[in-house]
């Protein structure tokens, strides 16, 4: 089976996407893989699989490789006398802006290219943490209490300390701070506002249990990964998450009761169904006083959360054969013809 790994993008998570793509080269070696890199200027390059190394991109060596344009059904490589259309199911592995905000999904949909990844509407509700909160409220999933701050009202925080401050539209813990008292507030706000104009403020919950669960839909049902209890200090900072993106060996399953596992799966399914079909996502949950809360949705998890699946290759193949088929309107011009005939034109 042919797969194209699409990675890079113009975002703060650009380098993480490169790490994810390199990891998937190893994990999906049984597929016929190609690699397309989107640079910060939104140019596409066909990357030699033998050159799938971090230094290829940090040194700009990708610019010596064939440049592609997007076209109906695939990516087009033009030469002086001919052109080649590269057609394969795309794995959208662009983290953050461009990949998770719906931009790439809209582009792939527009050009009728099959892809694994969140669709536009799913991207909207998972990329922006404000809209994730609204989604939880709409579907009856518990989430942590929150405030939304903009740059001109950052002094009006009502949540008691300690608090956690997050950019609303950024992942990988970039720009996130734990603020224990007011003396730390200005620095944390300045840091977060460097990355986004809207912030989420939540109470920092001591002693909370955290669990990660990934899954996808195939053949009409949701298939779950194991449940992981991530190892962390106060929270998973950027460095820890950056290392997680390169994980390729399966982690240990969390030691939890069957009842809690079922409740995590039920909550995941409630979030996933009728929104995330076509994507493999990871949900990060809190358990507080035996109640399950959604912390965040990762619509394109690092390295596709391969480390949570016993048979990741089979999972990707199963998902690739169960992608949603969008319906396109058939344009007939009947209305224009009927009006023209009525007017005699």
262 vs 334, residue with greater confidence: 262
| Mean pLDDT computed over 99-104 | 96
Q: What is the pLDDT of residues 155-177, one digit of tens each?
A: 678 999 999 999 998 876 788 99
Question: Of 20-29, 60-69, 134-143, 239-248, which range is least confident?
Answer: 239-248
- Domains contained in the chain, CATH given: 2-116 (3.40.50.20), 124-141+207-320 (3.30.470.20), 147-203 (3.30.1490.20)
Q: Could you tell me what percent of the chain has a pLDDT over 90?
A: 76
Residue 153 has pLDDT above 70, yes or no: no
Task: Show the CA angle centred on residue 14, arms to residues 107 and 165, nearest 5°.
Answer: 105
The 10s digit of each residue's pLDDT in 13-23 is 999 999 999 99
What is the mean pLDDT of the segment spanning 10-32?
95
pLDDT for the residue 250: 77
Percent of the chain past pLDDT 70, that is, above it, reads 93
Q: Give yes or no for residue 285 having a pLDDT over 60.
A: yes
Label the pairing between strands 198-203 and 163-167.
antiparallel
Q: 2-8 and 177-179: which strand pairing?
A: unpaired
Helices (H) and strands (E) in the chain, counts: 10, 16
What is the pairing mode between strands 44-47 and 32-38? antiparallel
pLDDT band at 332 (very low <50, low <70, confident <90, very high): confident
Q: Which of 61-75, 177-191, 259-273, 310-324 has the lowest mean pLDDT?
A: 177-191
pTM of the entire structure? 0.90
Residue 218 pLDDT > 70: yes
Q: Specify the range with the lowest mean pLDDT, choosing from 3-7, 232-236, 264-268, 315-319.
A: 232-236
Beta pairing partners, 191? none
User: CB 183: neighbour CB atoms within 10 A?
Assistant: 8
With 80 as the cut, is the pLDDT of residue 247 above it?
A: no
| pLDDT for residue 281 is more than 90 | yes
What was the pLDDT predicted at 288? Answer: 94
Neighbours of 63 (CB within 10 A): 12
H or E segment to which residue 62 belongs: none
In sequence order, the β-bridge partners of residue 222 are 217
């Amino acid at each position: 089976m042919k797969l194209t790994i699409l990675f890079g993008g113009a975002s703060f998570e650009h380098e993480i996407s490169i790490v994810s793509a390199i990891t998937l080269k190893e994990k999906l070696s049984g597929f016929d893989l190609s690699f397309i890199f989107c640079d910060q200027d939104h140019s596409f390059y066909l990357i030699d699989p033998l050159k799938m190394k971090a230094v290829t991109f940090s040194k700009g060596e990708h610019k010596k490789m064939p440049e592609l344009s997007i076209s109906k059904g695939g990516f087009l490589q033009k030469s002086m006398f001919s052109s080649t259309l590269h057609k394969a199911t795309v794995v959208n592995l662009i983290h953050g802006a461009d990949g998770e905000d719906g931009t790439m999904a809209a582009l792939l949909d527009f050009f009728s290219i099959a892809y694994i990844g969140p669709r536009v509407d799913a991207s909207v509700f998972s990329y922006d943490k404000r809209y994730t909160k609204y989604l939880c409220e709409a579907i009856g999933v518990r989430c942590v209490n929150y405030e939304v701050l903009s740059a001109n009202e950052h002094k009006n925080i009502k949540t008691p300390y300690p608090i956690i401050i997050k950019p609303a539209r950024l992942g990988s813990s970039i720009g996130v701070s734990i603020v224990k008292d007011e003396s730390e507030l200005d620095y944390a706000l300045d840091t977060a506002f460097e990355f986004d104009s809207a912030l989420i403020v939540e109470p920092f919950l001591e002693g909370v249990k955290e669990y990660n669960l990934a899954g996808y839909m195939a053949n009409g049902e949701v298939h779950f990964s194991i449940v992981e209890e991530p190892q962390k200090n106060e929270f998973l900072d950027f460095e820890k998450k950056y290392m997680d993106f390169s994980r390729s060996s399966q982690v240990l399953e969390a030691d939890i009761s069957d009842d809690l596992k079922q409740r995590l799966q039920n909550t995941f399914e409630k979030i996933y169904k009728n929104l995330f079909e076509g994507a493999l996502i990871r949900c990060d949950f809190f358990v507080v006083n035996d109640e399950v809360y959604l912390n965040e949705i990762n619509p394109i998890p690092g390295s596709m959360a391969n480390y949570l699946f016993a048979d990741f290759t089979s999972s990707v193949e199963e998902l690739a054969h169960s992608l949603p088929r969008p319906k396109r309107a058939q344009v007939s011009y009947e209305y224009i013809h009927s009006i023209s005939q009525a007017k005699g034109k």
